[in-house]
Structure 1
Amino acid sequence: MFPVQRRALTILALAAAAALPQAHAQAPKEISFGIISTKSSANLKSAWQPLLEDLQQATGLKINAFFAPDYAGVIEGMRFNKVQVAWMGNKSAMEAVDRAQGEVFARMVQPDGGIGYWGFIIARKDSPLQNLQDVLKQRQELTLGYGDPNSTSAALVPGFYAFGQNKVDPTRDFKRMVRANHETNILAVHGRQVDIATVASDAMERMKLKQPEKHDELKVIWRSPLIASDPMVWRADLDAGTKKKVSDFFLTYGKQPREKEILAKLTIGGFMKSDNNQLTPIRQLSLVAERNKIEADVNLSADDKNRRLQAVDVKLAELSRQTNTN
């Protein structure tokens, strides 16, 4: 064997040997758990901390809580591997799967055993607004508290069912629109800072537990179709051993009285197994919303509009095929 060949083989052997301990070391000693911004970070931390402490004890991993001022912060945190596991809404989970190597592994169960929740439009009880038709008729005189762009229940779902199907743009057609998390929007309606707001039904349940006197001064004037309960997401490249530890914890948590008490404060009944198929209805909603936007764009040429519409229709057809197959 020539010296050059021997040197090359030696280098390859050393590289292979060096890779072995690195592959074994892929299992982390700590992970960051991302929590979407449905209310202030301080309130979220106090609510989630007991569960995260139990997760740490059960898995032997150091668990770091990761908060961001908006949903995008948690998605980007997962994208850059600053977050390995997260609680997300369906829309933010879809973005994480598409852009941040995310993968759905579980979903929440509601306190009553249900596996879904609703998007609400709320107003004060003393408001003359009684229903969605009142909102649509008077929208130019109303201020709207709207959800984070990546919120399922406070943006995507009401954006389609309440506004999009009625040819209303919530970002432009009201007197004023402000974006905020669920808790802030609820308090803004109560404090008369906005006339109406889009929020999640479980956020209203948390308000009922935390501040019942304020909750009782509000009313629901529109309710969405049922939304699949929030998914739990991890990075797809998380090692198998860590995935098993995390999955085992969540799928068995909430059986003991103390655990039930912790989950009750989060308005969660437990967790069940899930996967990325949970996101299919959200993908369909997003594509329909995109299609409506393209159709309404007067600045597009006929050819460009048709090309874009056809591309969306292909994606919708594929999702429909997958749904029928599953």
Structure 2
Amino acid sequence: MFTASLMISAPVVAETFVFTAIPDEDETKLIERFSGMAEYLSQELDVDVRYVPVKSYAAAISAFRNNQVQLAWFGGLSGVQARDLVPGSEAIAQGTEDASNFVSHFIAHKSANLEPMDELSEELRGKTFTFGSKGSTSGRLMPEYHIREAFGEAPDEVFSRVGYSGNHTRTLRLVEAGTYQVGAVNFKVWQKEKEDGNIDTDQVQIIWTTPPYPNYQWTIRAGVNEKFGEGFKERVTQALLDLEDRELLDSFPRTSFIPASNDLYEPIRKVGKEVGILD
């Protein structure tokens, strides 16, 4: 009598591709933006894609280092820090506006009695000032660099009080309310908030803008091809470059994504060392 035997193999468990982003704006905005991005990437890559929010820039870098995420939307500085911790990781795409075209605005409350200036002047001395997150390229690194260049002193020697709001949206609100007289925000947040009618320009205005520098980028973790299959890094890169959903792009806000590389962020590394944030 012939007895058929069935070989039962273990079920195939599909890997989930997980990504995060630095929390540079209000959490509700980020969840809406990156939930849409997860859906788009899942369709393009034909894998389960999940966005994991984090509470700080440091937490985003830690998640990347610990392989809790394989992709991240970093700022210039946080991207350099993350790639240093995971050798072989690569910056693969950036916004059109991020390719050495990014700037930070110094904004001031009307009570500061400051007018737009061509260069940072002594009129700023003694005012109260807020950066964004301590790990932010546009909200801390580049503004601090230019303050040190202009005054030859650290920010806490120039201003009567220095704060760190945590993100660009909060910086804008704190200066708008007069809690701080001056603050540094990235131009994309200012632009989007103004377009949406969320800025009272009777209370706050731009008084100075930094020279341009490279900023945000998508960084992919080393080893994704081994985990998700040969050519996966290239497929992720192409999916980002092919994104044409206007509503999703506007939520960043970016015109489009273009190729990036680690070398493009060497100017950020240089400034980070000069300011003392990077070793």
Band the TM-score falls in, shorter-chain normalisation? 0.7 to 0.9
Q: Are residue 225 (structure 1) and residue 189 (structure 2) matched?
A: no
The 3 A distance-change label for structure 1 pair 28 and 74 is: farther
Following TM superposition, where does structure 1 have runs of at least 4 consecutive aligned residues deviating by more than 4 angstroms?
132-135
The whole-number CA distance in structure 2 between the counterparts of 1:250 and 1:206 is 22
Equivalent position of 1:119 in the other structure: 104
Equivalent position of 1:178 in the other structure: 163
Report if the CA contact (8 A) 1:76-1:100 is conserved: no
Equivalent position of 1:244 in the other structure: 234
The 3 A distance-change label for structure 1 pair 42 and 261 is: closer
Report the more deviating stretch, 148-157 or 179-188.
148-157
The 3 A distance-change label for structure 1 pair 290 and 212 is: closer
- The correspondence for 1:105, drawn from 78, 83, 92, is 92
Using CA pairs below 8 Å that are at least 6 residues apart, which structure has the higher relative contact order? 2
TM-superposed CA distance for 1:265, in Å, is 2.5
Greater Rg by CA: 1
The 3 A distance-change label for structure 1 pair 190 and 115 is: same
Equivalent position of 2:256 in the other structure: 270
TM-superposed CA distance for 1:132, in Å, is 7.7
Structure 2 counterparts to residues 146-165 of structure 1, below 5 A: 146-165=131-150
Report if the CA contact (8 A) 2:108-2:175 is conserved: yes
TM-superposed CA distance for 1:133, in Å, is 6.6
Report if the CA contact (8 A) 1:108-1:115 is conserved: no
Report if the CA contact (8 A) 2:107-2:183 is conserved: yes
Q: Are residue 139 (structure 1) and residue 125 (structure 2) matched?
A: yes
Partner SS, residue 261 of structure 1 = helix
**Unpaired segments of 5 or more residues in structure 2?**
1-11
Report if the CA contact (8 A) 2:21-2:72 is conserved: yes
Report if the CA contact (8 A) 2:37-2:248 is conserved: yes
Structure 2 counterparts to residues 59-70 of structure 1, below 5 A: 59-70=45-56
Deviations 1:288-323 (A, max 9, x none): 3349x9xxxxxxxxxxxxxxxxxx9xxxxxxxxxxx
Report the more deviating stretch, 90-99 or 130-139.
130-139
Q: Are residue 195 (structure 1) and residue 181 (structure 2) matched?
A: yes
Report the more deviating stretch, 195-204 or 207-216.
207-216
Report the more deviating stretch, 63-72 or 27-36.
27-36
Using structure 1 for the length normalisation, give the TM-score: 0.73
Structure 2 counterparts to residues 285-296 of structure 1, below 5 A: 285-290=271-276
Deviations 1:156-179 (A, max 9, x none): 111112334422212454222211
* Structure having the larger proportion of residues in helix: 1
Using structure 2 for the length normalisation, give the TM-score: 0.84
Report if the CA contact (8 A) 1:206-1:266 is conserved: no
| Identity between Structure 1 and Structure 2 (%) | 22
TM-superposed CA distance for 1:50, in Å, is 1.8
The whole-number CA distance in structure 2 between the counterparts of 1:164 and 1:185 is 22
Report the more deviating stretch, 190-199 or 158-167.
158-167
AA at the equivalent of 2:238: D
The whole-number CA distance in structure 2 between the counterparts of 1:253 and 1:51 is 10
The whole-number CA distance in structure 2 between the counterparts of 1:215 and 1:60 is 45
Equivalent position of 2:32 in the other structure: 46
Partner SS, residue 42 of structure 1 = helix
The whole-number CA distance in structure 1 between the counterparts of 2:119 and 2:92 is 39
The whole-number CA distance in structure 1 between the counterparts of 2:250 and 2:66 is 32
